Amino acid sequence: MSANSGNFRPTISEKRWDKRIEEELIRVWEEEDLYKFTYDPRKPIIVIDTPPPYPSGKWHVGGAAHYVQIDMVARYFRMKGWNVRVPWYADRNGLPVEVAVEKKYKVNAHELAKTREGRLRFLELCKRELDAIEAELVKIWKRLGCSFEYWKDGTDSPTYRRITQSTFIELWKRGLIYEAERPVNWCPRCRTTLSEAEIEYKEEKGYLYYVKWKVKETGEEIVIATTRPELIGATVAVAYNPEDSRYKHLKGKHAIVPLYEYEVPIIEHSSIDPSFGTGIMMVSTYGDWHDEMIVKEAGLKPRVIIEPNGKMSGLAGFLAGLSVRKAREKIVEVLEEKGLLVKREEIQHNVPVCWRCKTPIEIIHVKEYFLKQMEFKEELKKIVHRMQIKPEKHRQKLLDWIESIKMDWPISRTRYYGTEIPLWTCKKCGAKLVPEPGRYYRPWLEEPPWSKCPNCGAPREHLEGEKRVFDTWFDSSISVLYASGYMREQDIFERVFSGEIPWTLRPQGVD
Ligand SMILES: [Zn+2]
Ligand SMILES: [Zn+2]
């Protein structure tokens, strides 16, 4: 310490930071359009594939911190003299806003969308809702001093949607998309298919019901435990573990389904846990994905008794028309009356629910469009090994996630605020018609782009526009193309994807 430190005069005399200075700075930056991206072909380039946030309310501090970190990376590369593209736009498609609007205005999207006018009105309400929340988010990141380029065209803009649709058309032409009736995760309230990423688990108190069954050939009684007695009538087999000596003598015999009185085969399956319940279980279509696997492997014929609206179907007999929950109460009553219920055990279990409305999901058969992904798992893993991932430990997360994929991806949704599936069906010959890529198509609203069916020549009136939209993750999956200027700035796009590994960076928080 020097003797005259007492005379030190700091250049900045204020002892406290004045927030008004920040506001003034932001105003100047805005005026100068300081963060507008300008491309200099002589300099290296990096595109930051900013994860578009979903406008579902104000950010909590974690969200804010995440975007500030992205900004730090952008500033680092800018200081190194690179071309840095770091856009900010919102991910606006999908179920959350629809559910919010349904609640706020007390409307039902499926009812409204029965007419074109109603569907347009519903979309307008969703848009208004999203605009308000988005404006709030933009204010927050600007106030944080983030140097993003604001793109008003979010994932619901024609600019973005035509890229989503072009991707679909390209995949369709390569034979990677097919339509099939398959078991899918289904939300009975939203009446839509959900992807594996759209399911949450809620820990809940429930019961394990021990129910008496009969073996047809020997008349002996077996006790089967289930958390879903309402699905007794959906049973297609009874199964035990081949190592389990208690049941070995039942191989090849049949069980009589209680109350429904039809017979099902008794089979062995190595996936059955002998320590769960009594070690012998009913395989119903579908109690869960474990059932689905056994049904598929054993080639059993499904017997689905839940309708898309979450009510029991005619096949459910005396439970027909009841909701799943009511049906469970009812059947337990009847089983008790008839002396078929041995006991009930209280348990804690994880119930899969819809990520938006928290309704328990059901597995039912629905006709949807699927994108092939199972056959690409190994190839995808190879790509993950070529990527640079920081910190390294997160590489395993991505690999585990790819490994966990169990089925092709159902990409169609019976909802409204989403990118339309660009497809028309000829009612005469059944042909599925996909237009040329390039523009944004709205098949439920506009005339087909052909004057007659290109397949059978039927007049235009026979061509019916697809009403469904894409799973919102189908939009999200192409964000890197959007950020890189795909279909808009060919020079930038080609430069970014010219090398072995594209010059893109994906910041990703942990979900
Ligand atoms: Zn739902
Ligand atoms: Zn035709």
For ligand 2, the distance from its centroid to the CA atom of residue 237, given in whole angstroms, is 42
Q: Taking the mean position of all CA atoms in its chain, how far away is CA 255? A: 38
CATH class for the domain made up of 197-362: alpha beta
For ligand 1, the distance from its centroid to the CA atom of residue 294, given in whole angstroms, is 27
pLDDT band at 312 (very low <50, low <70, confident <90, very high): very high
**Portion of the chain with pLDDT greater than 70, in percent:** 99
Smallest-distance ligand from the CA of 453 = 2
Mean pLDDT for the stretch of residues 71-78: 97
Q: What is the torsional sign of CA 178, 179, 185, 186?
A: positive
For ligand 2, the distance from its centroid to the CA atom of residue 432, given in whole angstroms, is 9
Fold assignment, 422-467:
Rubrerythrin, domain 2 (2.20.28)
pLDDT band at 4 (very low <50, low <70, confident <90, very high): low
Mean pLDDT for the stretch of residues 448-470: 96
Q: Are 253 and 266 in contact (CB under 8 A)?
A: yes
- The confidence score (pLDDT) of residue 5 equals 58
Q: Quote the tokens at residue 65.
A: 């911190």
Within 10 A of 437 (CB to CB), how many other CB atoms are there? Answer: 18
> Which among 505, 492, 472, 479 is positioned nearest to 126, based on CA atoms?
472
- The confidence score (pLDDT) of residue 205 equals 93
The pocket of ion ligand 1, defined by CB under 5 A, consists of: 187, 189-190, 354, 356-357, 359
Tell me the pLDDT tens digit for each residue of 189-229: 999 999 888 899 999 999 999 999 999 999 999 999 999 99
* Residue 79 pLDDT exceeds 60: yes
Q: Taking the mean position of all CA atoms in its chain, how far away is CA 396? A: 21
Residue 291: partners with Cβ closer than 8 Å, 6 or more residues away: 283, 284, 285, 363
Strands (E), 140-273: 149-150, 177-187, 192-194, 199-215, 221-226, 235-240, 254-256, 263-268
Mean pLDDT for the stretch of residues 122-128: 97
- The confidence score (pLDDT) of residue 259 equals 96
Q: Identify the residue whose tokens are 């009930």.
A: 344
For ligand 2, the distance from its centroid to the CA atom of residue 165, given in whole angstroms, is 22
For ligand 2, the distance from its centroid to the CA atom of residue 368, given in whole angstroms, is 21
pLDDT band at 444 (very low <50, low <70, confident <90, very high): very high
In the chain, what's the furthest Cα-to-Cα distance?
A: 105
pLDDT band at 404 (very low <50, low <70, confident <90, very high): confident
Tell me the pLDDT tens digit for each residue of 265-285: 999 999 999 999 999 999 999
> Which among 467, 502, 473, 488 is positioned nearest to 119, based on CA atoms?
467
For 408, phi and psi rounded to 5 degrees? -65, 160
Q: Are 35 and 149 in contact (CB under 8 A)?
A: yes
For ligand 1, the distance from its centroid to the CA atom of residue 310, given in whole angstroms, is 11
Q: Quote the tokens at residue 257.
A: 């389904």
For ligand 1, the distance from its centroid to the CA atom of residue 409, given in whole angstroms, is 18
Residue 369: partners with Cβ closer than 8 Å, 6 or more residues away: 177, 178, 179, 410, 411, 412, 421, 468
Q: How far apart are CA 328 and CA 323, in angstroms?
A: 9
Mean pLDDT for the stretch of residues 141-151: 94
Residues 2, 5, 9, 11, Cα dihedral to 10°: 50
For ligand 1, the distance from its centroid to the CA atom of residue 373, given in whole angstroms, is 25
CA angle 284, 290, 296 (to 5 degrees): 75
**Portion of the chain with pLDDT greater than 90, in percent:** 84
- The confidence score (pLDDT) of residue 369 equals 95
For ligand 2, the distance from its centroid to the CA atom of residue 193, given in whole angstroms, is 28
- The confidence score (pLDDT) of residue 1 equals 47
Smallest-distance ligand from the CA of 356 = 1
User: Which range has the worst mean pLDDT, 59-63, 327-331, 486-490?
Assistant: 59-63
pLDDT band at 511 (very low <50, low <70, confident <90, very high): low
Q: Taking the mean position of all CA atoms in its chain, how far away is CA 322? A: 28
Burial of 267 (0-12, 13-18, 19+ CB in 10 A): buried
For ligand 1, the distance from its centroid to the CA atom of residue 112, given in whole angstroms, is 17
Q: How far apart are CA 431 and CA 429, in angstroms?
A: 6
Tell me the pLDDT tens digit for each residue of 90-118: 999 988 899 999 999 999 999 999 999 99
Mean pLDDT for the stretch of residues 331-360: 94
For ligand 1, the distance from its centroid to the CA atom of residue 355, given in whole angstroms, is 7
Task: Give the CB-side neighbour count of residue 167, counting CA atoms within 13 A.
Answer: 20
Residue-wise DSSP of 45-87: EEEE---PPP-SS---HHHHHHHHHHHHHHHHHHHTT-EEE-E
Q: What's domain 31-169+475-505's architecture?
A: 3-Layer(aba) Sandwich (3.40)
Average pLDDT over all residues of the chain = 93
- The confidence score (pLDDT) of residue 406 equals 83
pLDDT band at 36 (very low <50, low <70, confident <90, very high): very high
Burial of 364 (0-12, 13-18, 19+ CB in 10 A): buried
Tell me the pLDDT tens digit for each residue of 297-308: 999 999 999 999
Tell me the domain boundaries of the chain: 31-169+475-505, 197-362, 422-467
Q: How far apart are CA 236 and CA 259, in angstroms?
A: 14
